[in-house]
């Protein structure tokens, strides 16, 4: 994916590949078939009906992150849509990321 407002980097949870803005992590990948997107709790509440209707999306109670399974081309389109929503939400008051679905802090990163 090419996003002009995102820069690559290592994710705080230890995932090898992540993308973020200058101030926060937006998405990171756990292998080739799974991505975590930081939507914020407010954006998840707004999108909840659509998210619950997708078999590719997993929600975690109380988290601002969602996990997207990347098994089909349509899942990539869904991921792109959710990353766009995450970028819109990144300025919200609850935009500070909590732990992703697989929290493994990387030494030296906060």
Q: What is the pLDDT along the chain (110 residues), one digit of tens a residue?
A: 566 788 888 788 888 889 998 888 999 999 889 999 999 999 999 999 999 999 999 998 889 999 999 999 999 999 999 999 999 888 755 555 566 665 443 333 33
- β-pair partners for 65: 38
Q: How far is CA 107 from CA 10, 13, 14, 40, in A?
A: 12, 10, 9, 24
Q: How far is CA 54 from CA 39, 75, 78, 101, 109, in A?
A: 16, 9, 9, 18, 33
Q: Say what the pTM is.
A: 0.81
Residue 103 exposure: Cα atoms within 13 Å on the Cβ side? 8
């Amino acid at each position: 994916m090419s996003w002009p407002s995102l820069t690559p980097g290592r994710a705080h949870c230890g995932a090898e590949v992540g993308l973020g803005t200058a101030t926060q992590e937006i998405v990171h990948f756990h292998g080739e078939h799974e991505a975590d997107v930081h939507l914020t709790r407010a954006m998840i509440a707004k999108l909840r009906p659509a998210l619950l209707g997708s078999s590719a999306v997993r929600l975690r109670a109380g988290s601002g992150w969602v996990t997207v399974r990347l098994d089909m081309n349509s899942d990539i389109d869904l991921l792109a849509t959710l990353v766009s929503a995450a970028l819109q939400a990144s300025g919200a008051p609850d935009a500070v990321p909590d732990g992703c679905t697989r929290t493994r802090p990387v030494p030296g990163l906060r």
